[in-house]
């Protein structure tokens, strides 16, 4: 049986254990009475996402930990704020030492360039895909492709002994490419869902609300892969090392953001999204209890259900992230 993420986001929902099985109780908004849902076997659960307004028993946390299921705590803006998992290190501490050294020399710079180049390459591939059935928009899309490719080449051509020396240039090139990319995605959407640039906390539109929630799920997946591989999520190469800032997660995630963008774009272009999937909040909108399952189901299938060729084997996209995290760790260890 395949595993899946367990999202608990209904206000008043409670996760407990019955006969060594997870059991969720939800509270009816009108009657205030609790309803027990069918039990869930631990081996079918991959991760547990807990939103504010929900609760979990210590027994449920214990059952999750002994089954290597990490519990992710989400904020109201659908961004992960913390997690609970077992206390073992993912691998030797020597990897973390090498990671710190790389953050101060050209090794880290090479990795940053590789990740950002891959990110922009994915953006180009997405736009090329959009060109196939949009003959009237082909010239516009082709122009955007050429501009993003130029940014990609500029990133690849940069040289430095440490990332900080070219960090501002990298951010400028990445930011310009991102602006062109999201302008393009908006351009091909139905007018009702077109948007003006990226907006995060809060999202100003439905498209960004879907992106933000999807990125939140992806952040958790990437952090888990890094820690299991022995990488410190707080020691980044490009993103600034602020207090409690998971800088490496933000660095390493760049080539994989396209996974979320592919899923969200498909939902919108297939007209599966409507106004019932988001709620208005102060200063913007966010996904509601109808929109979240729509996205998480599609994202789960894309990341853990579908397989693509990676090397000589067919792999799920989540496994690709894990394998690339291990490759990254091994390369640091090898010097």
| Pairing relationship of beta strands 278-281 and 55-56 according to DSSP bridges | unpaired
| Residue 49 main-chain phi, psi, to 5 deg | -105, 120
pLDDT of residue 91: 56
Measured CA to CA in angstroms, residue 306 lies from 69, 245, 259, 298, 303 at distances of 22, 32, 12, 11, 7
Q: What tokens were used for 256? A: 């994989």
Question: Taking the CA atoms of the chain, what radius of gyration do you get in angstroms?
Answer: 21
DSSP 8-state assignment for residue 276:
G
Q: Cβ–Cβ contacts within 10 Å for residue 71, how many?
A: 20
Cβ atoms of residues 326 and 226 within 8 Å: no
CA angle 311, 315, 320 (to 5 degrees): 75
Q: Which residue has the tokens 């760790």?
A: 329
Strands of the chain (E only): list them: 4-8, 14-18, 21-27, 34-36, 45-50, 55-56, 70-74, 80-84, 278-281, 284-287, 307-310, 313-316
pLDDT of residue 1: 38
Alpha-carbon torsion angle 110, 114, 120, 123, nearest 10: -160
pLDDT of residue 242: 60
DSSP 8-state assignment for residue 77:
T
pLDDT of residue 82: 76
Residue by residue, DSSP assigns 221-235 as: HHHHHHHHHT--TT-
Query: Per the omega criterion (within 30 degrees of 0), is the bond before 202 cis?
Result: yes
- Sorted by sequence, the CB contacts under 8 Å of residue 142 that are 6+ apart come out as 131
DSSP 8-state assignment for residue 307:
E
pLDDT of residue 241: 66
C-alpha–C-alpha distance, residues 178 and 159, integer Å: 22
Grouped pLDDT means (10 residues each) for the chain, 335 residues: 72 89 84 84 87 88 86 74 67 86 95 98 96 91 97 97 94 97 96 94 94 94 91 90 78 97 97 95 92 94 93 93 95 88
User: Which residue from 301, 299, 294, 302 is spatially nearest to 206, judged by alpha carbons?
Assistant: 294
User: Which residue from 274, 233, 275, 276 is spatially nearest to 251, judged by alpha carbons?
Assistant: 233
């Amino acid at each position: 049986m395949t595993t899946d993420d367990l999202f608990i986001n209904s206000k008043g929902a409670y996760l407990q254990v019955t006969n060594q099985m997870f059991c969720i109780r939800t509270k009816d908004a009108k009657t205030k009475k609790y309803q027990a849902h069918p039990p869930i076997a631990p081996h079918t659960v991959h991760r547990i996402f807990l939103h504010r307004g929900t609760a979990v028993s210590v027994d449920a946390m214990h059952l999750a930990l002994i089954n290597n299921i990490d519990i992710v705590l989400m904020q109201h803006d659908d961004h992960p704020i913390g997690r609970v998992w077992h206390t073992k290190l993912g691998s030797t501490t020597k990897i973390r030492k090498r990671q710190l050294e790389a953050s101060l020399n050209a090794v880290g710079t090479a990795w940053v360039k590789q990740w950002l180049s891959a990110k922009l390459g994915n953006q180009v591939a997405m736009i090329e895909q959009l060109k196939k059935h949009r003959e009237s928009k082909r010239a516009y899309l082709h122009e955007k492709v050429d501009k993003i490719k130029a940014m990609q080449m500029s990133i690849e051509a940069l040289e430095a002994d440490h990332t900080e020396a070219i960090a501002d240039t990298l951010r400028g090139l990445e930011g310009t490419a991102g602006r062109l990319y999201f302008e393009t995605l908006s351009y091909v959407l139905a007018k009702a869902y077109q948007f003006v640039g990226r907006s995060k906390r809060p999202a100003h539109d439905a498209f960004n609300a879907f992106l933000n929630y999807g990125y939140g799920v992806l952040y958790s997946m990437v952090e888990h892969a890094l820690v299991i591989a022995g990488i410190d999520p707080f020691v980044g190469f490009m993103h600034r090392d602020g207090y409690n800032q998971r800088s490496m997660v933000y660095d390493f995630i760049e080539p994989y953001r396209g996974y979320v963008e592919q899923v969200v774009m498909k939902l919108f272009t297939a007209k599966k999204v409507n106004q019932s999937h988001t709620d208005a909040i102060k200063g913007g909108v966010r996904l509601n209890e109808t929109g979240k399952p729509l996205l998480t189901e599609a994202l789960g299938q894309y990341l853990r259900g579908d397989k693509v060729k990676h090397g000589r084997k067919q792999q799920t996209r989540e496994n690709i992230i894990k394998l690339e995290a291990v490759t990254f760790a091994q390369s640091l260890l090898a010097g």
